[in-house]
Structure 1
Amino acid sequence: MTAPTQAPAVAPQTNAHIDPAAQVATAGFVPVQTRSERPSSFDPDDFGTPTGREVNWKHTPVAQLASLFEPAAANDGVTYTISHEQYLSTPLPFGQAPRGEFFTPEDIVSAVAWQGSADAMHLSIPSDEEVAEPIVLQIDGNGGRADGHLVIEAGRHSVATVVLRHSGVAQYAQNLEVIVRDGAKLTLVSVQQWHDDAIHSSAHQVRVDRDAELNHFVVSFGGGIVRVNPSVELSGTGSHGYLYGLSFADSGQHLESQVYLHHKGAHTTGDVLYKGALHGSSAHSVWIGDVLIGPDAVGTDSYEANRNLVLTEGARADSIPNLEIETGDIAGAGHASATGRFDDEQLFYLQARGISEEEARRLVVLGFLTEVVQRIRIPSLQEELLSAIDAELAGVTA
């Protein structure tokens, strides 16, 4: 760390590489084998500049993210507008709780966003309060460079929905630190509808306490490169984490999510479902799903799945599920991944009933993606996202 007042103590760094495998030959280090072993630090210099060979960067076009490896000079690339200002608390400087209560950057972009945010935005839901309407934070890019750190704190036994909406053009390094305290229920939706030349890398770190529940959604339609990586720790006994994702990648887009679900407490429940469609010769999506069931997570029930529908030749979907179990006393655990093209039987069934091939293809894709949309449970946002999918499909069938 460069400034001891900025954060709690962190694990010592052994070298400047994110993946120690890069120096095994000369230093004798054992390569990082699991998601939980990755180094972390508040100092960007501890990570070094990614080369694309590191375990958490090898599927990412790192050269195009270079602008996020250095702090934003003016840090004025985005503006923030919130729908319910009464839940916006005093900004949190370095060292002021709950900022840094458990958050630790795990890559250079996250460390840059931490250092570049002298005052973190703090969205606080009071204990025992149920917020009827979604709290919407609009983040608009104006073409510049920005760093941001946002802390969302759901007080004990509170109920709330928070929607982050990203639009415009920016080069945006973002941290999202979320604490769901005992008995609280928080729904968090992050929607990326950037313009085509936007670059956005975001680290979401969430801790879910005893008997609390998190519903987390990542929806990515727009942006040139969008990398949203959720890391959720189910720390409290009886906590629940439901992580869902939806993406539609066009030619030239890179949409990525590296998901980490850590079952730490006993009798926790986790469900991960990410779905994506790809259209265009250079469309690229990346999903890496890591689930760790820790030694104290007895009675855990966990499942993760990723499904991708490739609509054209040349589109590429990388899908890598991983499951690590450190206790034998669990209710269940599993993972699945599938990437494929249109189901000819589905198309034949629809066409046999008088539906044109173009409409049949539209219905198949819409049905495939709607499963995630329906789980959001915000009617206005559901309608908007279904319309956005229709607009994407219009480009496919044009």
Structure 2
Amino acid sequence: MTTTTQAPATVPGSRPHSDGAGAFVPVQTRSDRPRSYDPADFGAPTGREVNWKHTPIDRIRPVFDDVDTETGDDLGVRYDVDEIADHLVESTGHEAAVRGEVFEPEDVAGAIAWKRCANALHVRIAADEERDDPIVVPIIGQGADRHANAHVIVEALPHSQATVILDHSGSAAYAQNVEIVVRDGARLTVVSLQRWDDDAVHVAAHQARVDRDASLTHFVVTFGGSVVRVNPSVELAGAGSQGRMYGLTFADSGQHFESQVYVHHKGPHTTADVLYKGALQGESARSVWIGDVLIGSDAVGTDSYEANRNLVLTDGARADSIPNLEIETGDIIGAGHASATGRFDDEQLFYLQARGIAEDEARRLVVLGFLTEIVQRIGVPELEAQLIDAIERELAAGAAA
């Protein structure tokens, strides 16, 4: 008698279990997620995978289409870069210098964006350059029915200092990879600002490496869009490197804002500070924050902390907050995480009202005080003023609803 066996189906995002090659378990830690430049290695997400289970898959399906999006009138976004031409470097083809030095897709959207975007937008800060004014990269969507894939490189050469703002507006179905390289001794700030129209879809992966004695301050600021998922990861590779990752979101009815944050302490004596804050108002307003920190076996002397705090302003809004910490060495200075989601503090409101401040104004002051902690860390006065105005408009719209 001949016996035949059939191998079990491979579930995307799974790996063989240690007690048998035929058993599969989901990937549980961020460091174990598969990476590949080939979209076929991932398959189409179903929403059951650990990295997609909080995302509204049906609303972002255009970014899973492995089709050419770069030619002629079909271009989904426009880049206004004339004013920063002196900081642009030609990056033609997938084998161009720097491209892929840090970035390797960890999901199908990133792999498709890599494949379909042949030429990168490469912003470089020269060695020893210290720039006071921010380098602003306007990214303007050309319509919700337009689909675009992009690869953006931000490179800070040794001992440089600059702020780069990726300013998104308009509307599109936009899949974006951002590769950030901070060379020895450089100090770089990157702000990803999402001011999309309400029908935009933005799925992005930011991957950064910070070298010896260098620092990266990274912001994700989101006010607009239907679904905005910006997932930043930072590898603190060099000794003495520092990473600061901050986020600010204000979600209205029907909006879904998501960030899956990853910090990998790889080199010795590295420091990380992660703080994301969000406000939500309106029926079905949704935010998702997942924070993963890995302190590697060689990352002695690490000091790391991550926190997420959410303020729910109305019934029907929901915030998911999931911090995770993985430590492979005991020789560290400190490591911790925190998460909190709640409504207004009644004691704060009572305190303000007891001093003659009306309830609506008291609520406004509480929200502003809560969110401006992130705004004030950006260090660009003009942008900070714009963000305060944006918060005020969100609050006024909520009060009028």
Distance 1:26 1:64, change over 3 A: farther
Q: How far off is 1:26 after superposition?
A: 9.2
* TM-score, L = length of structure 2: 0.93
Displacement, 1:351?
Answer: 0.5
2:208 matched residue in structure 1: 206
Specify the code of the residue in structure 2 equivalent to 1:54. Answer: E
Rounded Cα–Cα distance in structure 2 between residues aligned with 1:21 and 1:198? 38
Counterpart of 2:32? 37
- In 2, the alpha carbon distance for the partners of 1:104 and 1:15 equals 22
Question: Is residue 201 of structure 2 the alignment partner of residue 196 of structure 1?
Answer: no
Output the CA distance in 1 between the equivalents of 2:114 and 2:14.
Answer: 21
1:263-299 CA deviation, whole Å, 9 max, x = no partner? Answer: 0000000000000000011100000000000000000
- Once the two structures are superposed, residues 26-79 of structure 1 have per-residue CA deviations (whole angstroms, 9 ceiling, x without a partner) of 931233121100001001111000000000000000111110001353330000
Q: How many residues align?
A: 384
Partner in structure 2 of residue 288 of structure 1: 290
Aligned with 2:278 (options 265, 276, 279):
276
Write the letter of the residue equivalent to 2:58.
A
Question: Quick one: which amino acid aligns to residue 195 of structure 2?
Answer: Q
Structure 1 counterpart of 2:5: none
- 2:240 aligns with 238
Counterpart Cα distance in 2 of 1:360 and 1:19 = 49
DSSP 3-state at the match of 1:237: coil
Residues 146-165 of structure 1 mapped to structure 2, 5 A cutoff:
146-165=148-167
> For residue 11 of structure 1, what is the aligned residue in structure 2?
none
Name the CA distance, whole Å, in 1 between partners of 2:59 and 2:15.
Answer: 23
User: 1:21: Cα distance to partner?
Assistant: 8.8
1:241 alignment partner, SS class: strand
Output the amino acid matched with 2:222. Answer: S
Say if 2:81 is the partner of 1:79.
no
Find the counterpart in structure 2 of residue 5 from structure 1: none
Q: Which letter maps to 2:333?
A: A
2:6 maps to none
Q: Measure the CA separation in 1 of the matches of 2:321 and 2:21.
A: 32
8 Å CA contact 1:268–1:300 kept in 2: the answer is yes
Offset at residue 132 of structure 1 (A): 2.0
The aligned residue for residue 115 of structure 2 is 115
Partner residue, 2:57: 62
Give the counterpart of 1:170 among 166, 169, 172.
172
CA spacing shift, 1:59–1:26, aligned 2, 3 Å: farther
User: Are the counterparts in 1 of residues 310 and 319 from structure 2 also a CA contact under 8 Å?
Assistant: yes
> Unpaired segments of 5 or more residues in structure 2?
1-8
Contact 1:154/1:180 (8 A) holds in 2: yes
Q: Which of 184, 187, 190 is residue 185 of structure 1 equivalent to?
A: 187
Structure 2 partner of 1:105: 105
2:323 matched to which residue of 1?
Answer: 321
Q: SS at the partner of 1:312?
A: coil
* Dislocated runs of 4+, deviation >6 Å: none
More moved, 120-129 vs 173-182: 120-129
Residue of structure 2 aligned with 1:370, choices 360, 363, 372: 372
- Secondary structure at the residue paired with 2:397? helix
Answer yes or no: is the 8 Å Cα contact 2:222–2:249 preserved in 1.
Answer: yes
Secondary structure of 1:29 counterpart: strand
**Of 224, 227, 243, the match for 1:225:** 227
Q: Aligned partners of 1:297, 1:171: CA distance in 2, in Å?
A: 39
**Cα separation, 2, equivalents of 1:116 and 1:80:** 17
What SS is found at the alignment partner of 1:91?
coil
Which residue among 339, 342, 354 is the counterpart of 1:340? 342
Contact 1:18 1:107 in 2 (8 A): no
CA distance, structure 2, for counterparts of residue 16 and residue 74 of structure 1: 29
Q: Secondary structure at the match of 2:331?
A: coil
Q: Is 1:392 equivalent to 2:387 in the alignment?
A: no
- Cα deviation digits, residues 231-251 of structure 1 (max 9, x gap): 100000000000000000000
State the alpha-carbon separation in 2 of the partners of residues 19 and 121 from structure 1.
33
Contact 1:231–1:260, Cα closer than 8 Å, also in 2: yes
Secondary structure in structure 2 of the residue aligned to 1:354: coil
CA contact (8 A) 1:201 1:227 kept: yes
Q: Secondary structure at the match of 2:80?
A: strand
Bigger shift: 31-40 or 317-326?
31-40
Q: Which residue is 1:48 aligned to?
A: 43
Change (3 A) 1:102 1:116: same
Find the counterpart in structure 2 of residue 298 from structure 1: 300
| More deviation, 64-73/382-391 | 64-73
CA distance in 1, matches of 2:337, 2:253: 29
Specify every segment of 5 or more residues in structure 1 that has no aligned partner in the other structure, as ranges: 1-13
Contact 2:237 / 2:267 at 8 angstroms: preserved in 1?
yes
Q: TM-score, normalised by structure 1?
A: 0.94
**Aligned-residue offset at 1:177:** 0.3
Instruction: Give SS of 1:92's match.
Output: coil
Structure-1 separation of matches of 2:103 and 2:11? 20
Secondary structure, in 3 states, of the residue corresponding to 1:132? coil
Does the Cα contact within 8 Å between 1:127 and 1:154 map onto a contact in 2? yes
